[in-house]
Copies of this chain bind each other. A is one copy, B any other.
């Protein structure tokens, strides 16, 4: 029995409220041997108090040593094993720019590239054109029509765009057209299985690429496209089905709203900052059981290599803790979807400092005086995998029945 089936069998309704505060890329590293991480440097009296009266530990998003992308990172936090449930690249790209997919859509990641007169790729990223130039290119091709289906093309960032095919009986069993090196032509799209759906979808996409090629033949530097990561909406069991939780997502960035949408959370639009998020939390408090509050900028500063900037973002979040506690949640979790140490300027594999505070029924960690990576080594949660977090949270919210008699 996999964990979601187990949770589906054990979960039960209750009136308890859960706040899941995710600081993207929270985990960090010290700049020097024996130094302090970003979280340990930040002045966080509120988080420290929660760590002393709650439980802390270190969470592995996928497993020791594995660095997650945002998709798997959040799936794990939501209790879905990221090694079992995959979100295709095409879907992640679409979701990341705020597109909502139906379960019939097929999505792909597109690159604008440069080909020579013979059609051979000379630059797989068209000189990394700007997002503005990408938008201009998308405008040239977005009204290309195909028989019987709707085509949605949207710029993503730099040379990348999202392609969505919307219609009946489409398949994502298609090969990627990027040959992964220069000096070769883009590949034609072909069906990866013998189903009529795949054969038909391949024909349609080849028609589309042909027309795109005609339209942008004389543009510079981008004059061709490649397509990768064909995928359909993954059809994940919803949060309500699995955990019997009415869940709401309070996020600013499209990617995280999209990920929350994939597990069936109700997504609130139009939030631009922590104040908006707090106000929405307060406004919807009675209507939902579970609130996913996402803060992006801890990760952004980490990716910029901005140690002090990340410290400052953590301190901003610390200041909103009292307002969350005023709502009297039964459970407050503070964690991240992965680590983004500013010394690495990227996502990393380091386990994420995690805090589970509950009104009742917790094991204390009396040797812990504050919230930080080193303190978490002494925490009552120990080191654990992300997929254990939702079971722990549901248990403390008294929302899980006993397994077996």
Contacts and interface: CB of A to CB of B under 8 A. Distances in A.
Interface of A: 1, 3, 6, 10, 29-30, 33-34, 53, 58, 62-73, 82-83, 86-87, 89, 92-93, 341, 343-344, 346-351, 360-367, 373-374, 377-380, 382-384, 388, 390-395, 400-405
Copies in the complex: 2
A25 to B, nearest CB: 12
A363 B374 CA distance: 8
A387 B92 CA distance: 30
Nearest to A384: B64
A377 B377 contact: no
A349 B66 contact: no
Given A6-B83, A365-B377, A382-B382, A403 B34 contact: no
Nearest to A378: B377
Contacts of A373: 363
Contact of A70 (B10, B64, B366, B405): B405
Contacts of A402: 67-69, 346-347
B66 A403 contact: yes
Contacts of A72: 403-404
Given A10-B66, A82-B403, A349-B395, 4 more contacts: A29-B361, A63-B388, A65-B388, A72-B404
Nearest to A69: B404
A58 B405 contact: no
B33 A71 contact: no
A184 B87 CA distance: 45
A64 B405 contact: no
A386 to B, nearest CB: 11
A4 to B, nearest CB: 13
Contact of A64 (B66, B86, B341, B391): B391
Nearest to A2: B83
Nearest to A365: B377
A391 B187 CA distance: 35
Tell me which of A62, A349, A350 has the highest count of chain B C-beta atoms within 10 A of its own C-beta: A349
Contact of A83 (B1, B34, B83, B374): B1
A361 to B, nearest CB: 6
Contacts of A86: 404
A394 B363 CA distance: 30
Contacts of A404: 68-73, 82, 86-87, 92
B34 A67 contact: no
